[in-house]
């Protein structure tokens, strides 16, 4: 939340981003600086990106340029024409070349959802939830100077947050958004007055994650219920979802919401063991159970109990084991 009282500067800023965070950053920078423009991803490419925000209505307040390639000449020339002192990149998957990095008078800054140098790379929050083991994870958000090698530049600002066991990817990103605004509200005036502090990253402590593929969301029923639930909450909306396949027609059943519960049976993993008003219970590995609360099949979403009724799900039905 941006405070009612803040220092406004005349520093020229420009946002490069295509997510809800980029929208929030643009709105903030329009209040605390001279926002000269926004570069967004072309809508024809945006439809293929999770968490895309076209931001078209902001074009009434500030110039927006929709690009297919951040490094092409037309885009670079448009940015140069805006003469930014600082560029803020948030939620952009294309790697910036020197032709973009060298444009601003002061810095090209990136917002990255990790306590750099830990967690460099892509799909960071998804991976951290998947790896959490159902526990809280102390994490954070970094503002850093962009370099040729991704996520390696000096850190200008940092704000901690916790990825809680109750979080899913949507609520985790809301924490990223809140902390990003806090960082920028503090650091933009410092940069304007040349009072920023640069902290060099310790490469020996770095870790890196890589972009996930949709097929990697397959849920193996031999996993325990906590691991399955971590996958579900890491890949739920606005991402493409974690999924089972049934043994009868090999249909993909995307799971949008689930809950590990105490086990009351000794059935084979992958077996439907009971029903409830919230959905159906599936046997998992290591003698654990999981309540499946919301699913999607053939592009249509159902509450778990609706899925049971609509598809006449029976006790003893099996979902596929293994990859």
3-state secondary structure of 111: strand
Delimiting residues of CATH 3.10.25.10 domain(s) in the chain: 214-310
The pLDDT, as a whole number, for residue 318 is: 86
Cis peptide before 244 (omega within 30 of 0): no
The pLDDT, as a whole number, for residue 2 is: 45
Q: Which residues contact 48 (CB under 8 A, 6 or more apart)?
A: none
| Contact criterion met (CB below 8 Å) for 164 and 8 | no
Distance of CA 263 to the CA centre of its chain: 32
| Contact criterion met (CB below 8 Å) for 23 and 55 | yes
Delimiting residues of CATH 3.40.50.170 domain(s) in the chain: 12-209
Distance CA 82, CA 246 (A): 54
**Over the stretch 102-129, which tens digit does the pLDDT of each residue have?**
999 999 999 999 999 999 999 999 999 9
34, HSE (Cβ side, Cα atoms, 13 Å):
9
Average pLDDT per consecutive 10 residues, the chain (323 residues; last block may be shorter): 65 96 96 97 90 90 95 98 97 93 98 97 96 98 96 98 98 97 97 97 96 92 97 96 83 95 87 94 95 96 95 88 54
The pLDDT, as a whole number, for residue 144 is: 98
Distance CA 55, CA 97 (A): 25
As its CATH architecture, domain 214-310 has Roll (3.10)
- The secondary structure of 114-174 as a DSSP string is SSTTTTEESSHHHHHHHTSTTS-EEEEEEEEE--SSTT-SPEEEEEEEEE-TT--HHHHHH
- According to CATH, what is the number of the domain 12-209? 3.40.50.170
Distance CA 13, CA 242 (A): 38
The pLDDT, as a whole number, for residue 323 is: 45
């Amino acid at each position: 939340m941006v405070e009612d009282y803040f220092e406004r500067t005349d520093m020229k800023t420009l946002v490069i981003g295509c997510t809800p965070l980029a929208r929030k950053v643009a709105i903030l920078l329009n209040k605390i600086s001279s926002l000269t423009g926004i570069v967004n991803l072309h809508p024809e490419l945006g439809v293929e990106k999770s968490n895309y925000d076209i931001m078209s209505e902001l074009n009434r307040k500030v110039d927006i340029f929709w690009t297919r390639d951040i490094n092409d000449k037309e885009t670079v020339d448009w940015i140069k024409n805006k003469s930014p002192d600082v560029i803020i990149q948030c939620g952009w998957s294309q790697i910036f070349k020197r032709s973009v990095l060298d444009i601003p008078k002061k810095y090209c800054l990136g917002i990255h959802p990790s306590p750099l140098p830990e967690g460099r790379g892509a799909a960071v929050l998804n991976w951290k939830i998947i790896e959490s083991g159902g526990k809280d994870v102390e994490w954070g958000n970094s503002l850093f100077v962009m370099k040729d090698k991704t996520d390696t530049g000096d850190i200008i600002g940092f704000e901690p947050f916790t990825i809680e066991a109750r979080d899913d990817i949507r609520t985790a990103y809301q924490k990223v958004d809140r902390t990003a605004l806090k960082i920028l509200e503090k650091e933009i005036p410092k940069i304007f007055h040349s009072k920023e502090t640069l902290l060099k990253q310790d490469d020996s402590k770095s870790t890196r994650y890589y972009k996930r593929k949709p097929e990697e969301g397959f849920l193996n029923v031999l996993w325990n219920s906590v691991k399955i639930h971590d996958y579900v909450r890491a890949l739920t909306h606005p991402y493409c979802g974690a999924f089972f396949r049934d043994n009868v027609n090999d249909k993909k059943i995307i799971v949008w919401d689930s809950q590990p519960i105490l086990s009351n049976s000794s059935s084979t993993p992958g077996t439907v063991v009971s029903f409830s008003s919230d959905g159906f219970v599936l046997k998992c590995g290591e003698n654990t159970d999981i309540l499946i609360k919301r699913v999607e099949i053939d592009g249509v979403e159902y509450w778990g109990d609706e899925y049971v009724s609509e598809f006449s799900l029976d006790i003893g039905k099996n979902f596929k084991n293994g990859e």
